[in-house]
Amino acid sequence: MFEPAITGSGVFTPDQSISNDELVVAFNAYADAWNADHAQAIAAGKAEAMQHSSSDFIKAASGIERRYVLDKTGVLDPAVMHPLLPAREMDQISAMAEMGVDACQKALDMAGVAAVEVDAVICAASNHERAYPAIAIEIQEALGTGGFGFDMNVACSSATFGIQAAADMIRAGSIRRALVVNPEICSAHLEWRDRDCHFIFGDVATAVLIERADLAKGPRFTIKSTRCATQFSNNIRNNNGFLRRTRDGHMEDRRDMQFMQNGRKVFKEVLPLVSKHIAEHMDSEGVEAADLKRLWLHQANKTMNDYIGKKVLGRVPEDGEQPNILQDYANTSSAGSIIAFAQYSDDFAPGDTGLICSFGAGYSVGSVIVEKTT
């Protein structure tokens, strides 16, 4: 058995961002226009007037202050209310592959590894822009990596499930190195016209390079242990897919073809699931709360992270013990915990231990215990 280690990480951040204030102005203009268009139905009690959104609510309920997106013009146009992402020609690189390549290259550079030395690319994300050929194989081609590539989807937990898959292949000896890449174009599957969730998501891509520890050229995060779990729930759902049909078989454009959630239920059900998962994982590996220098958690909601941090450590986390990036990036699905890891891991000394944890739709939860090694 070989030991796997994370030797590089990379983040691609789009150059456009939207503040809560900008977002709310667009949403409220859309709501006013919708209400004017439906004035008669509203007056007759046949339709409910749309309410205004507010920056204060968004910050208080989620901790989110802004989000990066591939296109803000469409999102902020009350007559459009979605990103304008033109279809690409067959001979152009896809949007997910393009941002994924950027993140992967940064991870390779950090580790001092050439693309050709990589045996597998796993593109783990919550939505894929096409069915096949796999985005991972396109990234493989663009980077010039060897071996194979495949796409996988476990929603917000895609990154940690991908890390487990890569780590297991390295342990077993079937590959020496893998890139696990998470290009998340969440803006394209968010319903920007729904007041309850229009502020939740942003776009980003992250990547980690996982290598056989004995081949690593520099400092690394040894993957001590991984654990994944799922439990079916309809509370976070996106029905888009090739069978997006009505009961009598016709194609239809419906609200449930975009991200939907029952946020309150998610809070209630996911928090105990995640806390128990982490506690059992740590227990089985003999890791105590006092052994953990840092938690890099999924970035969906500040209140959720505060709760999990307190539950895992048995006290309110001190500054830096459980860093959040969601104020700047919003929820970036599977990429969130990896952004936190990439931005807050430089100060680890040999022997320091940390835990990456993601959770979300499925439900799904994945945790990775790492130890800094020189």
Q: Which residues bind ligand COA (CB under 6 A)?
A: 53-54, 57-58, 61-62, 156, 195-196, 236, 261, 263-264, 266-267, 300-301, 304, 331, 360-361
CB of residue 118 to ligand COA, shortest distance in Å: 29
What's the token pair of residue 238? 């996106």
Contact between 297 and 357 under an 8 Å Cβ cutoff? The reply is yes
CB of residue 194 to ligand COA, shortest distance in Å: 9
What's the token pair of residue 70? 């591939």
The whole-angstrom separation of Cα 345 and Cα 5 is 14
Q: Name which of 7 and 53 has its Cβ closer to ligand COA.
A: 53
- The three-state (H, E, C) secondary structure of 270-302, written as one string: HHHHHHHHHHHHHHHHCCCHHHEEEEEECCCCH
Contact between 132 and 149 under an 8 Å Cβ cutoff? The reply is no
CB proximity list for 260: less than 8 A, separation 6 or greater: 191, 197, 236, 237, 238
Contact between 368 and 355 under an 8 Å Cβ cutoff? The reply is yes
CB of residue 214 to ligand COA, shortest distance in Å: 37
Q: Which of 156, 186, 228, 357 is catalytic?
A: 156
* Whether residue 156 lies in the annotated active site: yes
What is residue 206's three-state secondary structure? strand
Task: Name the residue with the smallest CB distance to ligand COA.
Answer: 263
Q: Name which of 46 and 264 has its Cβ closer to ligand COA.
A: 264
Q: Name which of 94 and 238 has its Cβ closer to ligand COA.
A: 238
**Residue 133 backbone phi and psi in degrees, to 5:** -65, 155
CB of residue 294 to ligand COA, shortest distance in Å: 21
Q: Name which of 324 and 353 has its Cβ closer to ligand COA.
A: 324
What's the token pair of residue 116? 């050709």
CB of residue 75 to ligand COA, shortest distance in Å: 15
Q: Name which of 164 and 238 has its Cβ closer to ligand COA.
A: 238
Q: How many CB atoms lie within 10 A of CB 70?
A: 22
Residues involved in catalysis:
156
